[in-house]
Amino acid sequence: MLRVEDLSIQYGGIRAVRGISFTVEKGKITALIGNNGAGKSSTLKAISNLVTPAQGRIVFEGRDITGLRPEKIARDIGIIHIPEGRHVFPELTVRENLLISFSSRTVSKREFMSEMQAVFERFPVLEQRQKQSAGTLSGGEQQILAIARGVLQKPYLLILDEPSMGLAPLIVEEVFEIIREINRGGVTVFLVEQNAQMALSTADTGYVLESGEIILQGSAEALMEDPQVKKIYLGEE
Ligand code: ATP
């Protein structure tokens, strides 16, 4: 579905990403794991064109989308990016945060009602808290809200930047179960994570990014058995 070819990202003198290539297969969950500063967020931002690559191409379903405006990538191509740190609007209520997802689409009142109802059925915590300002939600609830907003934008490809960040282990499990469920519903997922254990146990395929380069790739299962991954990323001897 997505092919990233020879991508390099440079910030002044810093080469954050160094000529990486990878693919995201349709219908699957693909994970990009790596430590702090490896270049994971930069890679996602290049896909959404929130940073301009120094070099490389982003190809989605055979179409070169490199340089397409970010709002077109979201609205017309259907690549929805849930950024690190979630970025909900803290002063707005949960419901208002959800309403914003409709601003780039034309829907009838009936469609709107049924989509809101579906979101509340899928994420009951958001229905309970729909009148609460989003800034007062727990970290996990904010992540669920950010994901729900993404779902309302009808993605073909959902890209998530560290969905586990700052969350307690039990909530991380819940958030990843939601991600698996969205994927089972037909949405392709590409996620970046420092939490290699969670990412690889969820994904079909994985890539390991270190200092801007892909050093390992394979099925998530094989990566979990890789001695280097075990030692450095899973904390096993
Ligand atoms: P983290 O998990 O900590 O978010 P990451 O793997 O997502 O890390 P990036 O955020 O992509 O890594 O950063 C890669 C490198 O690029 C880092 O050295 C970072 O300091 C640098 N960098 C990222 N954004 C910018 C920027 N806007 N200006 C300058 N340097 C940047």
Kindly give the confidence (pLDDT) of every residue in the chain, 237 residues in length, as a single tens digit, with 9 standing for 90 and above: 999 999 999 999 999 999 999 999 999 999 999 998 999 999 999 999 999 999 999 999 999 999 999 999 999 999 999 998 878 999 999 999 999 988 877 888 899 899 999 999 999 999 999 999 999 999 999 999 999 999 999 999 999 999 999 888 889 999 999 999 999 999 999 999 999 999 999 999 999 999 999 999 999 999 999 999 988 888 876
The tokens of 21 are what? 């290539």
The tokens of 196 are what? 């290699």
Strands 55-60 and 2-11: antiparallel
Who lines ligand 1 at CB under 6 A? 11, 14, 16, 34, 36-42, 84, 194
| Dist CA 137 CA 145 (whole Å) | 9
Provide the pLDDT for residue 237: 66
Strands (E), the chain: 2-11, 14-24, 29-33, 55-60, 63-64, 79-82, 157-161, 188-193, 205-210, 213-219
Provide the pLDDT for residue 7: 98
| Dist CA 7 CA 19 (whole Å) | 5
Provide the pLDDT for residue 102: 87
Provide the pLDDT for residue 234: 85
Strand partners, 183: none
Helix (H) or strand (E) holding 96, with range, is helix 94-100
- Residue 63's CB: how many other CB atoms inside 10 A? 10
Residue 220 has what DSSP assignment? H
Task: Using the atom order of ligand 1, give the atom closest to the CA of residue 42.
Answer: 11
CB 39 within 8 A of CB 53: no
CA 198 – ligand 1 centroid, Å:
22
The torsion defined by the Cα of 196, 201, 204 and 207, in degrees rounded to 10, comes to 10
Task: Using the atom order of ligand 1, give the atom closest to the CA of residue 43.
Answer: 11
CA 40 – ligand 1 centroid, Å:
8
CA 41 – ligand 1 centroid, Å:
7
Substitution site in 4, 9, 35, 40 for ligand 1 pocket (most atoms within 8 Å of beta carbon): 40
CA atoms within 13 A on the CB side of 39: 25
Of 1, 34, 2, give the one whose Cα is nearest residue 18.
Answer: 34
Residue 34: exposed, middle, or buried by beta-carbon count in 10 A (0-12, 13-18, 19+)? buried
Provide the pLDDT for residue 56: 97
CB 2 within 8 A of CB 190: yes
Q: Whose alpha carbon is nearest atom 30 of ligand 1?
A: 11
Residue with tokens 């993605």: 155
- Residue 191's CB: how many other CB atoms inside 10 A? 26
Task: Using the atom order of ligand 1, give the atom closest to the CA of residue 162.
Answer: 2
Residue 166: exposed, middle, or buried by beta-carbon count in 10 A (0-12, 13-18, 19+)? middle
